[in-house]
Amino acid sequence: MNNQEEQKLNERIAGLEEKLADLDIEIKEKNRKLEIEAALEKVRVKATAMRTSSELAETSSVLFQQLNDLQINAIRTGVGIFDEANDAMEIWLTTVSDSQGVVRILDYVNLHIHPVYENIIPARKQNKPFAITELAGNDVKQYYQTMSTYLSLPKHQVYNPNEYFYSFFFSEGAINVISKQALSNEECNVMIRFAQVFGLIYTRFLDLQKAEAQANETLKQTSLDRVRGQIASMRSTEDLQKITPLLWSELKSLGVPFFRCGIFLIDEIEKIAHVYLSAPDGHSLAVLKLSFEANSLTSNVVEHWRNKTIYKEHWEEADFNNWTQSMYEQGQIDDKEKYQDAANAPEKMDLHFIPFTNGMIYVGDILPLSDEEIEIVSSLADTFSIAYARYEDFIQLEKAKQSVESTLAELKATQSQLIQSEKMASLGELTAGIAHEIQNPLNFVNNFSEVNKELTEELEQEIEKGNFNEAKIIANDIKSNEEKIIFHGKRADAIVKGMLQHSRSSNGVKELTDINALADEYLRLAYHGLRAKDKSFNATIKTEFDESLAVTASGNGGVNVIPQDIGRVILNLFTNAFYAVTEKKSLNIPDYEPTVTVRTKNNGNKAEIIVIDNGNGIPEEILDKVFQPFFTTKPTGKGTGLGLSLSFDIVKAHGGDLIVESHQGEGTKFIIQLIK
């Protein structure tokens, strides 16, 4: 092999080596690219697999693990989410080593606090893929000093001479990379792609968060609806016992952590807090009645409730024991063990009181509730307010109902008194009539007796004289007078009996009654009763009795009624009719003849008693009111307003009807329809 050959060979080898080296580089580059692609793909797959927003940390950890594996030359990496409106950024810290809490929101910084952040603004505006700020020397130290007030960064004893701050953008934020040296173009490109993939994760995270928020809202609304429904169904104070299990189950379904809950209903009038407590298992634990000043907790709760603010208190085990002891001493609880749930007595607890209209919702847990959790309890409290207001309305309604009922009972008592007095009043009206009615037959009895006494003397004389024909005539006269005496004696007797019947309460026994005779009897009583009261009173009475209604000797005919009751109705109608014609008469209308007509009518299966007056009639607008209790057009003291109402009730109780027809200026007609 000559030199030339050797040289050629060497050149070839060199060329091949060079090519090999190039190929090696190319392979390495390709490998790197493949690595990057594989890493990105892994992250993408993880991103699409995200099912809940809580997986963000896990997914992000995959991304940063991949970045770590690609050995990007960085001191730290992190995520920033922009708050466009406020030129600010949420800083999330990522530490790969901590697999549990990879993403934690560290702080919220304004972009104007330092040039490192300030430079992000124009870069984003110009749609650059990333922003970069290089700090050197003292600026590095200064940066960390500035940021130490915002971020809890590891304390730097030794500061790097140079630090490069990169922000690789995705639509809502940036992946921040801090390095000691400038990143290579390749590294920058990798970061740009990773930022885009993170953008994907973040978008997915936001979507999931939104969907979850909607789902939560639905859950919350369902829960609140249940609360409304439950409270709306409460009807008594006993039902309030149901309020704690309700609160318990809703706090559970809303995902609020707690091991004790309850309701403080605050009664400002009695200055008492009614406390309904639930045990950890959801059962009602205790119902306490605490005065506002019973202990500092109660007074604090009441104070905060008045201000409509949330109240929180932290308890150690001793506080809990003290409370239990004091409740026991006050006799509020019977069993300390049961109350404390001794086996599970908490070492420490945080008590939260969230106000609603009528009190405070109490939630106790081992740790303080987060703002979100308190927010959820607040919306529950709002629902309690609304629902409880309805419950209160109901209680008010119940109270109103009770008061109406007691008023009604009083009214009924008063009414029955009035009915009695109405009866007595009509008896009073009757008395004068009765006196007159009895007086007349008594006069006849007396007169005919006297006449008979004279006649018997004459009879003796005629017999002594032997004038037997004359004696016979006289004897006949005596006989017919005796019949008159018997007749009028019976008449008086019937009147007295009628009066007794009227004053006696109705025994409710129906009997076959001659309504013609009944109507006639009460017509006379009413007429003479009024006459006795008012001397100037007078009216023409027309009777038109349907004889087919009379009771025959064989006991046929007649109507089955309670005679004293129907008599009272007739009396009332007559009294009204006489009152009406007297009123009209007082107007001094020429040729006016006050007339009251009573008519009976056999209408097949019905019997009618009709009372007609030619008075002024009843105005149309009050015609439908005349049967209402206490309705009267008579001056105060003249009528109870119960007469027609009672009459109506009596006729109805007989299965009949009382009908009124009236024409103004012409008169009024009342029809009693009775079933035969």
Partner 1 sequence: MKILVVDDEQDVKILFEQRFRKEIKNNEIDFVFAFSGEEALVYLNENNHEAVLILSDINMPGMSGLDLLGKIKQKYNAPPPRVMMITAYGDKENYETAMKLGADDFLTKPVEFSLLKEKLKSIQ
Note the residues at the interface with partner 1 (CB under 8 A): 436, 439-440, 442-444, 446-448, 450-451, 455, 477, 480-481, 484, 488, 527-528, 531-532, 535, 538-541
What minimum distance in Å lies between the beta carbon of 488 and partner 1? Answer: 7
Of residues 107, 90, 104, the one with CA closest to residue 61: 104
Nearer to partner 1, 373 or 437 (CB): 437
Nearer to partner 1, 440 or 503 (CB): 440
CB of 451 to partner 1, least distance (A): 4
362/264 Cα distance (integer angstroms)? 7
Whole-angstrom Cα distance, residue 78 to residue 83? 16
| DSSP helix/strand/coil, 383 | helix
- Residue 362 vs 527, nearer CB to partner 1: 527
Q: In angstroms, give the least distance from the CB of 479 to partner 1.
A: 12
Q: Which residues pair with 663 in a beta bridge?
A: 667
Q: Name the residue nearer to partner 1 (CB basis): 58 or 458.
A: 458
Shortest Å distance, C-beta 498 to partner 1: 19
E-strand ranges in 270-347 read 272-278, 284-291, 311-316
CA nearest to 172, candidates 211, 202, 132, 208: 202
**Beta partners for 512?**
560
* Shorter beta-carbon distance to partner 1: residue 250 or 521: 521
Q: What distance separates the 2 farthest-apart alpha carbons in the chain?
A: 217
Residue 312 or residue 531: which is nearer to partner 1 going by CB? 531
Of 176 and 600, nearer to partner 1 (C-beta) is 600
Residue 412 CA, chain-centre distance (Å), reads 30
Residues 123, 128: Cα–Cα separation, whole Å: 5
Q: For the chain, what's the residue count?
A: 676
Burial of 568 (0-12, 13-18, 19+ CB in 10 A): buried
Q: Which is nearer to partner 1, 532 or 550 (CB)?
A: 532
User: Which C-beta is closer to partner 1: that of 326 or that of 440?
Assistant: 440
Q: Label the pairing between strands 595-603 and 540-544.
A: parallel
Give 121 or 438: the residue with its C-beta nearer to partner 1.
438
Both tokens of 189, joined, read 């490109």
- Alpha-carbon distance of 166 to 192, in angstroms, equals 10
The structure tokens listed for 462 are: 């005629």
What angle do the packed helices 371-465 and 515-533 form, to 10 degrees?
90
Q: Minimum Å distance from CB 657 to partner 1?
A: 29
- C-beta neighbour count of 530 within 10 angstroms: 20
For partner 1, which is the closer residue by CB, 288 or 492? 492
Instruction: Give the nearest distance from C-beta 640 to partner 1 in angstroms.
Output: 27
Question: Minimum CB separation from partner 1 for residue 547, in Å?
Answer: 19
Instruction: Output the smallest distance, CB 530 to partner 1, in A.
Output: 11
What are the φ and ψ backbone dihedral angles of 106, each rounded to 5 degrees? -95, -50
* CA 144 to each of CA 73, 107, 179, 203, 619: distance values in angstroms, whole numbers, following the listed order: 20, 15, 14, 31, 100
Q: How far is the CB of 585 from partner 1 (least distance, A)?
A: 12
- The span from the CA of 265 to the CA of 289, in Å, is 10
Q: How far is the CB of 590 from partner 1 (least distance, A)?
A: 15
Q: What is the dihedral of CA 181, 183, 187, 188, to 10 degrees?
A: 150
Measured CA angle at 470 (ends 466, 476), to 5 deg = 125
Closest to partner 1 by CB, 35 or 470: 470
Q: Smaller CB distance to partner 1: residue 540 or 603?
A: 540
Q: Supply the minimum distance, in Å, between the C-beta of residue 671 and partner 1.
A: 22
To partner 1, the closest distance from the beta carbon of 437 in angstroms equals 10
Provide, rounded to whole angstroms, the least separation between the CB of residue 528 and partner 1: 7
Judged on CB neighbours under 10 Å (0-12, 13-18, 19+), 259 is: middle
Rg (CA), the chain: 54
Spatial separation of the C-alpha atoms in residues 55 and 46, rounded to whole Å: 10
Report which secondary-structure segment, H or E, holds 245: helix 243-253
Nearer to partner 1 by Cβ, of 433 and 617: the residue is: 433
Least distance from partner 1 to the Cβ atom of residue 540, Å: 4
